[in-house]
Structure 1
């Protein structure tokens, strides 16, 4: 029996450093940034969902289910993950941000292998120097634990990881895979780097 793996792309933030522009819809090389993330993960998962708290009709035009956080108030990525875990019937859920256009094409394969080899509940990606807290593969059955954590006033995702058997999956062979875009300047630098 093969495992079902779905994905959620987190596009629910306020994007303060992007001047309030919705990061997933900011153009990078002639297409919205979220489309780069979709292109990278689509071959790796069964279904893709988008978590967005604004511009939902524009995201829906991409052809994927779109949902907002169950809890209003921009509570951060945990809120989007909790809602996504309640929307899927998959064995595992891949979580990625909308502003990482160079995600590894073997992201799911390597993270799942690490989870299975170590009997873990979730895996978080690392570029070899830093963990990438919103690039993870986890069991949707962890939803209640994450919701209790968020409802308790906690927001730091790595504190939640510490409560579970979490493994780090290194992608030091792809150090640029997790470059994300938080400012217009970073967007320009990334576009120039990709174009080279």
Structure 2
């Protein structure tokens, strides 16, 4: 049975370490990073992107956090208000190596499990980097549980919200968790997957 899910992609950060450039719009493999992420969740019922509207994503539903640039928790609240499927893929907009198979592996790790005895059903699953650190914007979550946790949460960090949910942690090949926070990150991604028209966006 196919697992139904929506995708919530956070694409509204200020990208200070990239000099204020439009990070989701920067190109790797010849296309904007956010379009690569959208392609990895082509199977989602609904694609919700929290950030400014942009071309090239005709099926996306764009929403903005309040205030714009207010951080990941306000962005997540704005995005989750549009999520209706039983599961949600919560993703950053700058994951050049993420593919549909990685998302499928995350869903498979949790959606097929049944709680045993008094054990709670799995809340979700996230990817871990090469050092074993959880990557909170590279995971899938049970929608009901994430919305409930978000309603109770008064902090400002994704770690503070998501770590207490004790998700499964997956280490997958292909570095699907790799994000482009700096120009060095972007250069490494382009070297690994060059495209014909990759180039730096203007600030």
TM-score by length of structure 1 reads: 0.82
The match for 2:161 is 160
In the alignment, structure 1 residue 148 sits paired with structure 2 residue 152:
yes
* Alpha-carbon shift at residue 128 of structure 1 (Å): 4.7
The match for 1:133 is 136
Contact 1:40–1:101 (Cα < 8 Å) also in 2: no
Q: Distance in 2 between matches of 1:147 and 1:76?
A: 16
In the alignment, structure 1 residue 185 sits paired with structure 2 residue 188:
no
Q: Deviations over 1:36-68 (max 9, x none)?
A: 1122221x422212110xx42xx2552111101
CA 1:74–1:195: 2 relative to 1, 3 Å: closer
In the alignment, structure 1 residue 100 sits paired with structure 2 residue 100:
no
Q: Which has the higher contact order (CA 8 A, sep 6+)?
A: 2
Q: How big is the alpha-carbon RMSD for the aligned residues of Structure 1 and Structure 2?
A: 2.3
* Alpha-carbon shift at residue 26 of structure 1 (Å): 1.8
Contact 1:86–1:140 (Cα < 8 Å) also in 2: no
- Unaligned 5+ segments in structure 1 are none
Q: Which runs of 4+ in 1 moved over 4 A?
A: none
Secondary structure of the corresponding residue to residue 133 of structure 1? strand
Q: Distance in 2 between matches of 1:32 and 1:170?
A: 25
Q: How many residues align?
A: 185
Q: Distance in 1 between matches of 2:103 and 2:192?
A: 25
CA 1:62–1:113: 2 relative to 1, 3 Å: closer
* Alpha-carbon shift at residue 180 of structure 1 (Å): 1.3
The match for 1:10 is 10
The match for 2:70 is 75
Range with greater deviation from structure 2 (110-119 or 80-89): 110-119
Whichever structure has more helix as a proportion of its residues is 1
